[in-house]
Amino acid sequence: MELFTPDFGLVFWMFIAFILLFLVLAKWGWPVIIKMMDSRAATIDQGVEDAKQAKEQLDNAREEAKKYVVEAQARQAEMLRDAARMKTEIIEQAKNEAADAARKEMDAAKAAIEQARKEAELQFRNEVGRFSIDIAEKMVRNQMKSDKAQTELVNKLLDEIEKN
Amino acid sequence: MRLLISIKEGMSKRISTLALLLALVAAFPFAMSASGHDDGGELDVKEIIFEHLGDGYGWEVPFAHVYRIPLPVIVKSEDGKWFCFSSDDLTEIDVTENKETGKVTKHLVPVVKIIKKDGKEYRFTLAKEGDHKDKVVELIPDGNGYREYRPLDISITKNVAALFIAAILVTAMVMGLVRYYRRKGLRAPRKGMGFFEMLVSFVYYDTIKSTLGESTKRFAPYLLTCFFFILTMNLVGLIVIFPGGANLTGNIAVTLVLAFMTFVVTNIFGTKHYWKEIFWPDVPLFLKFPLPIMQMIEVFGIFTKPAALCVRLFANMMGGHIIVITLTLLIFIFAAFGAGVAGGATVISVLFSIFMLLLDVLVSFIQAYVFTLLSALFISMAVVKEHEHNAEGDEAYPQKEHRDRQEIAEEKKALADLAKEVDA
């Protein structure tokens, strides 16, 4: 049977063709393709991983942002409260200071008035003293115009001394 | 719903087109008999089948019985000289006219090619009968006649040319993909290249890698070359006209070389363990000591494995070719019974031929795949290490199970991680 007996020429060329094909493809063909398919698969896997991580990070970032917003709001409220308190404090203080100043002013005025009054009183007393002395002198002089009165007085005084 | 209707419409349109074509085909024998055109002569079915299955020095062209694409004939004569000439020189067209009917018939008949070299005449011709029928023989003067000597023949025959075409096609496909990668980097190829790459990845990841495991890198180029070379040869063989039509993988010489390659690779890379399994397997002592029964079986097995590869591919592809050719020949066999019968036979045989050719496309793929898978399996059995070896001849399966278990464990871990994340 011709079909079942291998023909030498065909075996020979098949051998050469196969070896050549194998050498060419093993050197420049398959390794490149396999490397490329592997690296593409790796890239896709990496991409999926990256996307997952990115989503996680985004979620985390969102949460963090929310936290910051809440914190900021709390701080704002606190600041507003502080400001209000400070305002009332400042007003109070100003009021007190104003009251103090007014009191001091009043005290000083009172003291000055007192001083003035005392001086006036003293002056008045001196005036009154002088007037009374003047009046007494004038009265004395009037009474002592006659000699009889004078002698009478001297006698009276002498009597008094004698009595003692 | 509308889509379904449109598909149905398209289908019925296509079916009616097909029916029209078949009607034309059926009408062909009527036209033939009406015109009285007939090549004459008896139909030698066996001869035609064998001519199509076998090799040839020229390459047939469609619609012309007597014309061949010439190919170089390379032979070494008995006294050791090389000769190279065109296959056209070995045949000539013989025109005969039937005087009574006026019918002209053409035949291709062998002639003697005479070459003068170093003052000596060398005669080559195609043997008409005997062991070397239709092969180039050297005619050597012997007494008053000539005796035939079959020279060493490495002609570029139809099969060899088809072999080169297939090799070039494979190289072009692979290098095309490599060039695409060089240009486009990691971008996935589309269309034809995409399909080719899908095939490569299927063979590489699902067949070679899952069988060979860690020694994949070493044997992948060989196995991939095998797969694509066989697949291309199978498919090119199914194309009826010129660049195809050669029954390559249905030729025992081709499959023999392929199987021999696997045999060589398997035994060269065989580990100590592989050889120990052959010459001192784990069986009761009486099976291997005084009489080396197991050894004989194992050694026999070394050769039967590649032989099975060789015969499987050869028989499958040749069977496919024989069926398609026989179905086609039915038309001409039934032509003898009149135009009506021939018309019916034509329709049936065309339908069956189409079916068989489609089936052969599937078979081409399956056989290339089976050859690669079994080669990978044989190699994996040869390069197996001691600790991987579990059951007799079933190394691939325990490994697979092991890997599956590992995968399941990984998945479980991933799920646990996910649950943790969800909890968090």
Contact A5 B252 (CB under 8 A): yes
Q: Is the pLDDT of residue B36 over 50?
A: no
pLDDT, one tens digit per residue, over B203-246 is 999 889 888 888 888 899 999 999 999 999 999 988 888 787 78
Q: Which of B55, B57, B157, B174 to mutate to test the interface with A (most CBs of A within 10 A)?
A: B174
Which residues lie across from B110 on neighbouring strands? B91
Query: Is residue B85 within a helix (H) or strand (E), and if so which, with residue range?
Result: strand B82-86
Measured in angstroms, the CA of B310 and the nearest CA of chain A are apart by 11
Q: Mean of the pLDDT values across residues B357-383?
A: 91
Residues B378-393 have a mean pLDDT of 68
The tens digit of pLDDT for each residue in A11-44 reads 999 999 999 999 999 998 999 999 999 999 999 9
Query: With b meaning 16 or more CB within 10 Å and e meaning fewer, what string describes B301-339?
Result: ebeebbeebbbbbbebbbebbbbbbbbbbbbbebbeeeb
Per residue in A105-132, pLDDT tens? Answer: 999 999 999 999 999 999 999 999 999 9
Contact B224 A30 (CB under 8 A): yes
Q: What's residue A120's pLDDT?
A: 93
- Residue type for B324, please? V
Q: State yes or no: pLDDT of B168 exceeds 60.
A: yes
Which residues of chain B does A13 touch, with a Cβ-Cβ cutoff of 8 Å? 154, 156, 160, 163-164
Task: Tell me how close the Cα of A20 comes to any Cα of chain B, in angstroms.
Answer: 9
What percent of chain B lies above the pLDDT cut of 90?
A: 24
The mean pLDDT value for B381-405 works out to: 58
A9 interaction partners in chain B (CB closer than 8 Å): 153-155, 157, 160
Helices (H) and strands (E) in chain B, counts: 11, 11
Tell me what the mean pLDDT of segment B64-91 comes to.
84
Give the closest-approach CA distance of B305 to chain A in angstroms.
Answer: 18
pLDDT of residue B386: 62
Chain A CB contacts of B171 below 8 Å: 21, 24-25, 29
Of all residues in chain B, the one with the smallest CA distance to A12 is: B154
Q: Which chain A positions have a beta carbon within 8 Å of B73's beta carbon?
A: none
Evaluate if residue B5 carries a pLDDT over 70. no
Highest mean pLDDT among A84-98, B19-33, B185-199: A84-98
For residues A138 and A140, give the distance between their C-alpha atoms in angstroms, rounded to a whole number.
5
Q: Which of B175, B178, B253 is opposite residue A10, by nearest beta carbon? A: B253
Residue with the larger pLDDT of the pair B392 and B121: B121
Given a cut of 70, whether residue B422 has pLDDT beyond it is no
Most confident range (mean pLDDT) of B13-17, B208-212, B274-278 is B208-212
The ranges assigned to domains in chain B are 65-156, 159-406
Q: Do B54 and A40 touch (CB under 8 A)?
A: no
Kindly tell me if the per-residue pLDDT of B6 is higher than 70: no
* Chain B environment of A40 (Cβ under 8 Å): 186, 188
CA B36 to chain A, closest CA, distance in angstroms equals 37
State which of A35-44, A77-86, B94-103, B299-308 shows the largest mean pLDDT. A77-86
Output the CA torsion B317→B322→B325→B331 (10° steps): -150
Taking the C-alpha atoms of residue B364 and residue B370, their distance in angstroms, rounded to an integer, is: 10
Mean confidence (pLDDT) of chain B? 82
Q: ipTM score here?
A: 0.80
Gap from B225 CA to chain A (nearest CA, Å): 6
The whole-number pLDDT of residue B1 equals 53
Residue B251: CB atoms within 10 A of its CB come to 27
On the question of pLDDT at B35 being above 50, the answer is no
Q: Which of B40-44, B244-248, B291-295, B296-300 has the lowest mean pLDDT?
A: B40-44
Mutation site for A-interface testing, chosen from B75, B84, B184, B186 by largest number of A Cβ within 10 Å = B186
| pLDDT reported for residue B396 | 46
Q: Residue B96's pLDDT is what?
A: 83
pLDDT for residue B2: 57
Q: Cβ separation of A12 and B154 shorter than 8 Å?
A: yes
Contact (CB<8Å) A26/B252: no
Considering only the beta carbons, identify the residue of A5, A18, A40 that sits closest to B257.
Answer: A18
What is the per-residue pLDDT for B31?
Answer: 59
CB A30 to CB B220 under 8 A? yes
Q: What is the mean pLDDT of residues B358-370?
A: 92
Sign of CA dihedral B197, B201, B207, B209: positive
Instruction: Report angle CA B209, B211, B216 to the nearest 5 degrees.
Output: 40
Distance CA B195, CA B204 (A): 14
Q: Report CB contact under 8 Å: A11, B256.
A: yes
Please check the confidence at residue B41 and state whether its pLDDT lies above 60.
no
Q: Which of A2, A4, A14, A16 to mutate to test the interface with B (most CBs of B within 10 A)?
A: A14
Tell me the percentage of chain A whose pLDDT exceeds 90. 72
Q: Which residue of A has its CA nearest to B133?
A: A2
Question: Chain A residue with minimal CA distance to B181?
Answer: A36
- What pLDDT, on the 0 to 100 scale, is given for residue B126? 85
Q: How many CB pairs under 8 A join A and B?
A: 111
Of A6, A21, A36, the CB nearest to B225: A21
Q: Who has greater pLDDT, A75 or B184? A: A75
Give this prediction's pTM. Answer: 0.73
Share of chain B above pLDDT 70, in %: 85
Going by C-alpha positions, the residue among B284, B361, B275 that lies closest to residue B317 is B361
Which residues in chain B have Cβ-Cβ distances shorter than 8 Å to A12? Answer: 154
Contact criterion met (CB < 8 Å) for A15 and B222: no
Mutate to test the interface with A, among B154, B325, B417 (most CBs of A within 10 A): B154
Pick the residue with more confidence: B238 or B104? Answer: B238
User: What is the band of B402 on the pLDDT scale with cuts at 50, 70, 90?
Assistant: low
With an 8 Å Cβ cutoff, are B221 and A7 in contact?
Answer: no
Sheet holding B82-86, edge to edge: B82-86, B72-76, B152-153
Residues in chain B within 8 Å Cβ distance of A1? none
B395 vs B215: CA distance, rounded Å:
14
Q: A81 vs B247, which has greater pLDDT? A: A81
